[in-house]
Chain A
Amino acid sequence: MFRNQYDQDVTTWSPQGRIFQIEYAMEAVKQGSAAVGLKSGEHAVLATIKRAPSDLSSYQRKIFKIDDHMGIAISGLTADGRILCRYMRNECLNHRFVYDSPMPLGRLVRQVADKAQLGTQRSWKRPYGVGLIVAGHDESGPHIFYNCPSGNYYDYKAFAMGARSQAAKTYLERQFETFAAASLDDLVKHALHALQASLQDGELTEKNCSVAVVGGDMPFTLLEDDSLAPYIAAIKEEEPAAAAGMEAEGAAAEGDAAAGEGGAAGEGEQQQEQQGGGGGDDGGEAPMEQ
C-alpha cells in the first residue's frame, strides 16, 4: 500500500472507487496473530496463536465468550475487539431477557456489521481495526462468521485471519470437505494443524495457542494449557514426515504421549495410524490427514 492523496479521510473515495481508510483498517487485521475458525455438522471450533508483547508480559487474550452458545476470536486492535465483545455480550443478554432464548448468530453478526459500517461513513469516526471470527451454535446449527472492519460479514465453513493466515487457509481449503462429518476431537486437531501452518518459528504448544469449542450439546468452552495438552500431543503424532522430518524417536515419544492422554475420542485412532511415509515402524495404515 502506498500513500496517496485519497487516503486521508474515510469519507474520501479514490478515483478507482476505493476508500483507502477502510482498506488500511483491514491491514490492521493482518497484523494480528493468526486465528482460525471451522465447523462440522455439530460443532464449531476456534483456534488462535497467542502472542505476548514481551517476555515479561502475559499473552493477549484473543478468544472471548459472548454467551453460552457463542464466542469470538479477534485479530488486530485488541482494544477495538473488546468494545465489540462488550456490545455482543450486551445484545445477547438483552435477547435472552426479552425472548428467553439464545440470540441467533446471523442476526447478531449483522448487527455488528452494521455497527462497523458506521465507522466507514462518518467523518468523525474511524473503522474498527479488528476482524472477528464468530463461532457459535443456534437453532440452525453451528456457524462460523467473519466480521470485517469494512462492515461486511461472511458466512464460512472455515476461515483464517491474521499474520501468515494464507498458509492456514491453504490447509483449510484442502481439508474442508472432511469437516462436516468430523468428530469434535478431529475438528480441534484440524484447527491446530491449520494454525501450525501459520507459525513462523517454533512449535505449537499448549502455552502459545488457545482453542474454544461450542456445539449443540456443548456450551462455549475455552481450552487452554492443561485442557489443550492432549490435542497438542495428538497432532504431534500426526505431523507429516515432510514437515517434521523423519524422527525414529518420534514414534517412541508418540507412544508415551498417547498412553498418558485422557479421554479424547480420537486418541484410539491415533495409536493405530502412524506416519505412512515416515520413519514409523508400524506404518501399516494410511494417516488420517496430511
Chain B
Amino acid sequence: MATALPVRAQVPAAGQATKQHASWSPYDDNGGTVVAVAGDDYCIVAASTRMSTGYSILTRNKSKILRLNPKCVVASAGMQADMETLHKMLHSRHVTYQFNHRRPMSCPATAQLLSNTLYYKRFFPYYTFNLCAGLDDEGRGAVYTYDAIGSYERVGYGCQGSGKELIQPVLDNQLKAASPLVLPQQQWLSSLPLEQAVDLVKGAFVSAGERDIYTGDDVEILIITKDGIRTDSLQLKRD
C-alpha cells in the first residue's frame, strides 16, 4: 500500500524493450460509504465510520464528515489522508471567509469552493469522493455530489464510496420521481417526512453493510435543519 517500499517491476527477457517502473502508488483506498438525502426543510447526511486498508481494519471509529457550519457539511469517502487535508483546507478557507464576509459560508458557496479546490489538483487529485450537503439559501435541503476532480451537480440524494453501487439503486427506487413524463418535471420526489427519510438511510446502510466488506461498525448520521445539527448513530455488524 502507500507505506510499502517501492518494488521494481520485473523486466521481461532481452529483446523486449519494456521500461522498468516502480509499482508504488501515492494513493490508498480506506473504504467506507457516505450518503446524503435532501428534504424540503431538512438534510440527512450519513457516513460509515470504518477505516480500512486492503483487507484489514485500521479503526472502527473514524469520522468522514466535516461540519463547516450549522448549515453545511462535507462528507468524503476514499483516501482518508487526502480527506483530512481537504477538510482542513476547507475549514481554513471557511474561517477566512467569515473574517471577510462577517457571516458563515452558504451551502451553495461551499459547493463551488469544493469544486474549485478539487480541480486545483487536477493533475494530482485528492482521492476523495465527496458529498456537500446542508440547507440552501432558502432553507431547503441541498445535496451536491462530486467526482475526484471537482465535477459537481446538485441532486436530491446521493451516495459515494465503497457501498455506492449497493445503496444508489435503493435510493433511486424510493426517492426518484416515478417518470420523467410527470409534470411538473422533477428529478426527485418532494420530501419524505424526516423520520421516514432517516429510516430509509439507516436501512440502506444496513443492507450495504451485509455485502460491502468496507462498510460496517458504525454509521454517523447528521440531521440538518434550521434549528441546527442533530446527531444520530446506527450500529452495524463488525465483521
Contact = CB atoms under 8 A, between A and B. Distances in A.
A154 to B, nearest CB: 27
B88 A89 contact: no
A124 interface: no
A96 B95 CA distance: 11
A97 B88 CA distance: 7
A197 interface: no
Contacts of B88: 97
Interface string B67-94: 0000000000000000000001100100
A93 B90 CA distance: 12
Interface in A66-113: 89, 93, 96-97
Contacts of B96: 89, 93
B224 to A, nearest CB: 23
B55 interface: no
Interface residues of B, number: 6
A184 B95 CA distance: 27
Contacts of B99: 65, 89
**Secondary structure class of chain B's binding surface, majority of residues:** helix
A89 B92 CA distance: 11
A245 B133 CA distance: 61
A45 B4 CA distance: 52
User: What class of interface size applies to chain A in its complex with B?
Assistant: under 10
A96 B92 CA distance: 9
B111 to A, nearest CB: 22
Contacts of A97: 88-89, 92
A94 to B, nearest CB: 8
Nearest to B92: A93
Contacts of A65: 99
A171 to B, nearest CB: 33
Nearest to A98: B88
Contacts of A93: 92, 95-96
Nearest to B99: A89
Interface in A174-228: none
A17 B89 CA distance: 48
A93 B97 CA distance: 12
Interface in B92-107: 92, 95-96, 99
A86 to B, nearest CB: 8
A93 B91 CA distance: 10
B152 to A, nearest CB: 24
Interface in A128-187: none
Nearest to A66: B99
A266 B92 CA distance: 38
A6 to B, nearest CB: 41
A97 B89 CA distance: 8
A97 B99 CA distance: 17
A89 B95 CA distance: 9
Nearest to A89: B99
A97 B95 CA distance: 12
Contacts of A96: 92
A168 to B, nearest CB: 29
Nearest to B93: A93
Nearest to B96: A93
A89 B89 CA distance: 15
Nearest to A93: B92
Nearest to A92: B95
A93 B89 CA distance: 10
Nearest to B88: A97
Interface of A: 65, 89, 93, 96-97
Given A97-B88, A97-B89, 8 more contacts: A65-B99, A89-B96, A89-B99, A93-B92, A93-B95, A93-B96, A96-B92, A97-B92
10 contacts: A65-B99, A89-B96, A89-B99, A93-B92, A93-B95, A93-B96, A96-B92, A97-B88, A97-B89, A97-B92
* 7 tightest A-B CB contacts, nearest first: A93-B92, A97-B88, A97-B92, A89-B99, A93-B95, A93-B96, A89-B96
